[in-house]
Structure 1
Amino acid sequence: MDEHAGHTYAIESPPPRGDEHAAHAKGAQGNHGGHDHAHMVADFRRRFWISLALTIPILALSSGLWEMLGLAAPVAFRGDAYVLFGFSSIVFFYGGWPFLKGFGDELRQRQPGMMTLIAVAISAAYFYSSAVTFGLPGMGFYWELATLIDIMLLGHWIEMKSVLGASGALEALVRLLPSEAHRVGPDGNTEDIPVGDVAPGDRILVKPGERVPTDGIIVSGQTSLDESMLTGESKPVEKGEGAEAIGGSVNGEGAITLEVKKTGGQTYLSQVMEMVRKAQESRSRSQDLANRAAVWLTAIALGGGFATLFVWLTLGRDFAFAMERAVTVMVIACPHALGLAVPLVVAVSTSMSASHGLLIRDRAAFERARNLGAVVFDKTGTLTEGRFGVSDIVPLGELDETACLRLAAALESQSEHPIAAGIVRTAKERQLEWPQASDFKNLTGRGAQAVVEGREIKMVSPGYLREQGIQVQHPKLEALAAEGKTTIFLLVDGRAAAVFGLADVVRPESKAAIARLKAMGIQCMMLTGDSQAVAQTVSRQLDLDDFFAEVLPEQKAEKIREVKARGLTVAMVGDGVNDAPALVESDLGVAIGAGTDVAIEAADIVLVSNNPEDVAAILGLSRKTYGKMVQNLIWATGYNAFAIPLAAGVAAPWGLLLTPAVGAVLMSASTVIVAINAKLLGRGGMPAAAHAEGRS
């Protein structure tokens, strides 16, 4: 967070919506929520316009300004100096109040910063000019004071609008939940109640087009849910009875009834908001560097301002000139840009990632991701779908591949076995239709049989063939065995008609994810408890750099240590359950496919989708984010290294002098450039795979 004038800038997410839904629905977002910051933006805007209006007569009455321009003052009358003093006093105390108040806050906290610099600068200008008005020899610079305050207010107004906008995606998440829910009573009638009154076990009616008020299980109805703002999934997801609905998703064409499972802080949306809040509060090395630099810059500016005053007085210049140089140094050195260089980038990147289902729990770990040398994936459920699928169909007789699959699906459609489900799923994917099977029987431990179109169909294991003395010869059988695939035989009227090879299905996105990571210069490896043959097959399919097979869950952390011993910075990607020790051992723990269970303590980053391409996306975002941080830090420090000597008057012998107002323009411009550069991080969208299109 960046605190100016005792104000906390709106770069953190609003607090999660818990049982206070009704209050939030009315717009209350906590003491540091969006409305407080919006009020602060409005306050700066109002002070700017009033001060600007008062600056017009100040300029007209400033004879020194018109003498410098070689013109006669447009307004001159007896006592005009006192009128000028009056207008300038209003601008100083009203327009300059945020900076004066901030100065007081920084003194109380014993942390002098940018508000101290601004307050000292405008106070020196005001009190010196006031003394001149009431008899001190010299020339006041009220017009410089007024324009300085105007530009400071304008700069803060623009800056705070930029900061407020940076957290817009997170505030949009807060607004996802409706304020009321339709609770279904025991008699079937509905009543509208505040979302905060919803309790687990309640049944809630969600009408077409409405937002789901809280997490629950669909107990009746069929619909499609738009979860794009929660998970980044662009296409509506078809859901029916027994499916989970996430609070905040938008109901499609059908009315559904939910049984509430989670409320308040337990809901997915609340956990996302809490995770984002903690991520933005967690310190990164870049932020610590910027903070230390800002403290030093404040000390340099104060010291430099007084040194400038002393040096010019020693050189024989008049007090007004020396004071103007000192004021300009303190104004131009205000470390606004440095203070915002990192926090703004953090706000933008966290908002971007959260809106795409990439949840950063630890900023420091996210920052380390840019230096990754290797990514180690768990196989089952991460690189693969964790379910059987048909990889090979080898006809052994007269029937072709399609005919064999059609008969197998007719039989297996009667079974609940995972292998049967894989065969049926494959037939559906190929858009096959199959006839009705009859006389279905389960052959315990061996397979199943049924009658299909008058023929006896069996799907059996190799053990059944050996028991029955059925010999099958085909060169493909050895290859399937070498690849570690499960083989099932189709028998038609007692004769072998085909062999089916089944394996854990590799996700379609896995190959693209591995290719993208390798293109980024990162080695890709795999951990699995499966056999060497299975691991080698998957490794060959995905072109992995290395793999570890037959690894027990408790051995995974040891394998991560082995990879780290090669001198590589390692990320572990797993499901966050039995991979927890490995996630902790790695330099960056990534839990993938968390669904609505986002509270995974072992991971540094949680990827809501099951898409492994999101790993490349988060690493790409880490590199882009760090690049923006470096750009902002270079600009903020480089600008001050150049501007401070110029403000002190080193170029005065060549006729180049900066007034305090010009210094304020340059300072404000520097801050706005940093803010714009941070927001440009989101202009190109998420790198790599996190675009909603192409999600599985």
Structure 2
Amino acid sequence: MNANSSHLHEGSGTGHAGHPHGGDAEHGTHGHHAHMVADFRKRFWISLILTLPILALSPGLWDMLGLAAPLAFRGDAYVLFAFSSIVFFYGGWPFLKGFGEELRKHQPGMMTLIAVAISAAYFYSSAVTFGLSGMGFYWELATLIDIMLLGHWIEMKSVMGASGALEALVRLLPAEAHRLSPDGATEDVPVNDLQTGDRVLVKPGERVPTDGVIISGQTILDESMLTGESKPVEKGEGAEVIGGSVNGEGAVTLEIRKTGDETYLAQVMDMVRRAQESRSRSQDLANRAAVWLTAIALSGGSLTFIVWLGLGRDLEFAIERAVTVMVIACPHALGLAVPLVVAVSTSLSASHGLLIRDRAAFERARNLQAVVFDKTGTLTEGRFGVSDSIPLGDLDESACLRLAAALESQSEHPIAKGILHAAEARGIVLPAASEFRNLTGRGAEAKVEGHDIKVVSPGYLHAEGLSANDPRLEKLAGQGKTLVFLLVDGAVAAAFGLADVVRPESRAAVASLKGMGIQCMMLTGDSQAVAKTVAQELGLDDYFAEVLPEQKAEKVKEVQSRGLTVAMVGDGVNDAPALTQSDLGVAIGAGTDVAIESADVVLVRNDPRDVAAILGLARATYRKMVQNLLWATGYNAFAIPLAAGVAASWGLLLTPAMGAVLMSLSTVIVAINARLLGRSGVTAESSPPGK
């Protein structure tokens, strides 16, 4: 990697050292890059001010314009030399220093080209000042340095801006917290002093100081900056909260569970930093191209110099052509092409709760052909829900659900919760239930509004000699759904079909992925009937049922044997082997537990639509990389011959300063193109794989 891309790449990281509470390493690294930006800004302005008298004292510039120099006096050449020397040594110092570092590393690159170009211009002009025949071009030297300093200043600001979302994460945590002592008193302490087990008070409008659990109070939390979830989340006693989230209108007391490196925010920042620093194939391609371009520029500059001298042109003209070739051929934009896109895409994904752990795997995501989802907890909510209500007597559906839910309000069974949730979703007001009693293994009973109400299993009906005849019941059983029956005063009144609730987002996720040309499949330990029902409901291309956890990796391998590039999406726990086997492992719904080593990408929200979003971002990122690489290399391929003077017979000659302008323009275009990645947002795209 050339020197420019190295320092830019370093700048793209957060500098996080594992501690989100203002660690020295984090702030030290950030301060170092801020100092570099300030240094380039200072050198640019001072050099620009000194350039004004240089321009006024340069006879070559005014001769070219057909005007008389505004400043001409005895000894003006030495004054011009003095000002130019300051600009060369002060303004050009970062490039001269970088040249030395590249030589020590035996990696000539952009700094080498700039240093050679400005040194050739300066020492040739100095020789003219002290007696060599010719025309110096101090003004070109000064403007070249000015433009290079300005370009570096803009680039470094762009790179630091690319990590703006991560720097915002640093500022999410408050400096102090209200710690509660055993006697109930409150003391304000630095967040760094909090320990696991401490209790803290979070007042309305304040930020949560670190990860913990609510032990008293209820509130609404804004976690949008952390998880990308725009909708505020209501939380009460026993709920986990993330450090950095914004408390709503209710005061809550937390018990600290995680501090320092263990916190969600610390892990997110460390994950993002490592992702930004990880190398990818595109990055390696850019680095190799930069080395070749460096060699081409140096040899091209030398050849240009020799050819023009051989054609009888004077030394000044030959040097000017050689200098222009070396300036315009700098792999400046090329060094920025990939690292800046990496910084922007990683920050963009992090701000939306899409955490990239492995850049190379993320880059491969653009070529995915199949996505295999774990069912429970990924495509479904992992809880029972009422999918069908079938009245079998005189009562209508709402009345049956009302009575069943009144009974089940006294139970903690998953089926009971499913029926109760269905009634709540419809806004049904429940009557009181009394004399509740469990019927072990068969159901439950209670008195509701003077009636004997039971919710029982099919086995209870069979044992009691009761029957429920309806063709719809056989269909539900064939779909693998759980059936329970409502009895009112001993008579069968209704049947309820319950199943693991399919997430509404799953349908949109599958539709988006299929629109991108990606096959969607499912793994589940459930029966064939259940798997088939879910697969048909979502429109999946294939499914695997009755799969044990240890068999999931084999199923992923089976899909890969079809010649498909596969992503596995699961919860990161019993799916770990399958996540590792896949070409892209995606852990979904990680919540506060983001330390999932088996996944390449961690999706904070439990929303399968984010799978399509991360694949869409991977494709958009790759396109930006390709666009930047094509622009940078194509620009140089066009500009180098022009700088060498192939169009001189048509009167078209590029001065070193104009070469610097065009080169900086190329760099700015690359930077803007990378920044435009954020304009499109993190959305799935319907382009074919690999495009």
Aligned to 2:573: 577
2:139 to 128, 134, 143: 143
- Mark the CA change 1:310 to 1:31 in structure 2 (over 3 Å): closer, same or farther: farther
In the aligned structure 2, how far is the partner of 1:168 from the partner of 1:671?
20
Q: What letter corresponds to residue 353 of structure 1 in structure 2?
A: S
Q: What is the deviation of 1:208?
A: 1.0
Tell me, yes or no, if structure 1 residue 506 matches structure 2 residue 529: no
Q: What is the deviation of 1:56?
A: 1.1
Aligned to 2:440: 444
1:249-398 paired onto structure 2 within 5 Å: 249-398=245-394
Describe the superposition over 1:518-537 as per-residue Cα deviations: whole angstroms up to 9, x where unpaired. Answer: 00000000001100000000
Q: Tell me, what secondary structure is at the counterpart of 2:29?
A: coil
Q: What is the deviation of 1:32?
A: 2.6
Describe the superposition over 1:631-675 as per-residue Cα deviations: whole angstroms up to 9, x where unpaired. Answer: 000000000000001011111111110000000001100001000
Tell me, yes or no, if structure 1 residue 205 matches structure 2 residue 201: yes
In the aligned structure 1, how far is the partner of 2:507 from the partner of 2:22?
46
Aligned to 1:81: 77
Q: What is the deviation of 1:280?
A: 0.9
Tell me, yes or no, if structure 1 residue 39 matches structure 2 residue 25: no
Is 102-111 or 82-91 further displaced after alignment?
102-111
Describe the superposition over 1:374-417 as per-residue Cα deviations: whole angstroms up to 9, x where unpaired. Answer: 00000000000000000001000000000000000000000000
Describe the superposition over 1:475-530 as per-residue Cα deviations: whole angstroms up to 9, x where unpaired. Answer: 11110111000000000000000000000000000011101100000000000110
In the aligned structure 1, how far is the partner of 2:622 from the partner of 2:446?
62
Describe the superposition over 1:290-343 as per-residue Cα deviations: whole angstroms up to 9, x where unpaired. Answer: 010001111111111111111111111111100001110110011111001011
Q: Tell me, what secondary structure is at the counterpart of 1:29?
A: helix
2:489 to 486, 493, 496: 493
Tell me, yes or no, if structure 1 residue 29 matches structure 2 residue 26: yes
Q: Tell me, what secondary structure is at the counterpart of 2:597?
A: coil
In the aligned structure 2, how far is the partner of 1:427 from the partner of 1:305?
80
Aligned to 1:693: none
Q: What is the deviation of 1:29?
A: 3.0
In the aligned structure 2, how far is the partner of 1:366 from the partner of 1:162?
23
- Mark the CA change 1:661 to 1:623 in structure 2 (over 3 Å): closer, same or farther: same
In the aligned structure 2, how far is the partner of 1:259 from the partner of 1:644?
65
Q: What letter corresponds to residue 177 of structure 1 in structure 2?
A: L
Tell me, yes or no, if structure 1 residue 228 matches structure 2 residue 224: yes
In the aligned structure 1, how far is the partner of 2:223 from the partner of 2:127?
65
Tell me, yes or no, if structure 1 residue 184 matches structure 2 residue 177: no
In the aligned structure 2, how far is the partner of 1:661 from the partner of 1:83?
21
Q: Tell me, what secondary structure is at the counterpart of 2:107?
A: coil
Aligned to 1:95: 91
1:599 to 595, 599, 603: 595
Q: What is the deviation of 1:164?
A: 1.3
In the aligned structure 2, how far is the partner of 1:71 from the partner of 1:267?
68
Q: What is the deviation of 1:679?
A: 0.1
Q: What is the deviation of 1:19?
A: 5.4
In the aligned structure 2, how far is the partner of 1:577 from the partner of 1:19?
26
Q: What letter corresponds to residue 288 of structure 2 in structure 1?
A: R
Q: What letter corresponds to residue 15 of structure 1 in structure 2?
A: G
Q: Structure 1: which 5+ runs fail to align? A: 690-696
Residue pair 1:92, 1:146 contacting (<8 A) in 2 also: yes
Q: What is the deviation of 1:282?
A: 1.2
Aligned to 2:14: 14
Is 594-603 or 102-111 further displaced after alignment?
102-111
Residue pair 2:18, 2:270 contacting (<8 A) in 1 also: no
Q: What is the deviation of 1:277?
A: 0.9
Q: What is the deviation of 1:10?
A: 5.5
In the aligned structure 2, how far is the partner of 1:2 from the partner of 1:235?
44
In the aligned structure 1, how far is the partner of 2:145 from the partner of 2:419?
74
Q: What letter corresponds to residue 668 of structure 1 in structure 2?
A: S
In the aligned structure 2, how far is the partner of 1:13 from the partner of 1:62?
43
Residue pair 1:10, 1:163 contacting (<8 A) in 2 also: no
Q: What is the deviation of 1:36?
A: 2.0
Aligned to 2:410: 414
- Mark the CA change 1:39 to 1:15 in structure 2 (over 3 Å): closer, same or farther: closer
Describe the superposition over 1:228-277 as per-residue Cα deviations: whole angstroms up to 9, x where unpaired. Answer: 00001111111111100100101111111111000000000000001101
Is 410-419 or 64-73 further displaced after alignment?
64-73
1:90-129 paired onto structure 2 within 5 Å: 90-129=86-125
In the aligned structure 1, how far is the partner of 2:109 from the partner of 2:334?
11
Q: Tell me, what secondary structure is at the counterpart of 2:196?
A: coil
Q: What is the deviation of 1:14?
A: 2.1
Describe the superposition over 1:191-221 as per-residue Cα deviations: whole angstroms up to 9, x where unpaired. Answer: 1111111110111111111111100001111
Aligned to 2:609: 613
Q: What letter corresponds to residue 349 of structure 1 in structure 2?
A: S
In the aligned structure 2, how far is the partner of 1:8 from the partner of 1:557?
39
In the aligned structure 2, how far is the partner of 1:391 from the partner of 1:277?
45
Q: What letter corresponds to residue 21 of structure 2 in structure 1?
A: H
Describe the superposition over 1:130-161 as per-residue Cα deviations: whole angstroms up to 9, x where unpaired. Answer: 01100111111111111111111111111111
Q: Taking structure 2 as the reference length, what is the TM-score of the superposition?
A: 0.97
| Identical pairs, percent | 79
Residue pair 1:5, 1:115 contacting (<8 A) in 2 also: no
Tell me, yes or no, if structure 1 residue 675 matches structure 2 residue 671: yes
Describe the superposition over 1:554-591 as per-residue Cα deviations: whole angstroms up to 9, x where unpaired. Answer: 11111111111111100000111111111111100000
Q: What letter corresponds to residue 344 of structure 1 in structure 2?
A: L
Aligned to 1:552: 548
Residue pair 1:607, 1:614 contacting (<8 A) in 2 also: yes
Q: Tell me, what secondary structure is at the counterpart of 2:144?
A: helix
Q: Number of residues paired by the alignment?
A: 685
Residue pair 2:20, 2:266 contacting (<8 A) in 1 also: no
Residue pair 1:10, 1:164 contacting (<8 A) in 2 also: no
Q: What is the deviation of 1:11?
A: 4.0
Q: What letter corresponds to residue 284 of structure 1 in structure 2?
A: S
Q: Structure 2: which 5+ runs fail to align? A: 686-691
Q: What is the deviation of 1:31?
A: 3.8
In the aligned structure 2, how far is the partner of 1:603 from the partner of 1:113?
36
1:402 to 398, 404, 417: 398
Describe the superposition over 1:352-373 as per-residue Cα deviations: whole angstroms up to 9, x where unpaired. Answer: 1101111000011111111111
Q: What letter corresponds to residue 141 of structure 1 in structure 2?
A: F
Q: Tell me, what secondary structure is at the counterpart of 2:428?
A: coil
Q: What letter corresponds to residue 612 of structure 1 in structure 2?
A: P
In the aligned structure 2, how far is the partner of 1:536 from the partner of 1:157?
59
Residue pair 1:212, 1:248 contacting (<8 A) in 2 also: yes
1:627-666 paired onto structure 2 within 5 Å: 627-666=623-662
1:685 to 665, 681, 684: 681
- Mark the CA change 1:20 to 1:441 in structure 2 (over 3 Å): closer, same or farther: closer
Aligned to 2:562: 566
Residue pair 2:12, 2:160 contacting (<8 A) in 1 also: no
Residue pair 2:12, 2:339 contacting (<8 A) in 1 also: no
Q: Tell me, what secondary structure is at the counterpart of 1:392?
A: strand
- Mark the CA change 1:23 to 1:630 in structure 2 (over 3 Å): closer, same or farther: closer
In the aligned structure 2, how far is the partner of 1:289 from the partner of 1:441?
71
Q: What letter corresponds to residue 12 of structure 1 in structure 2?
A: S
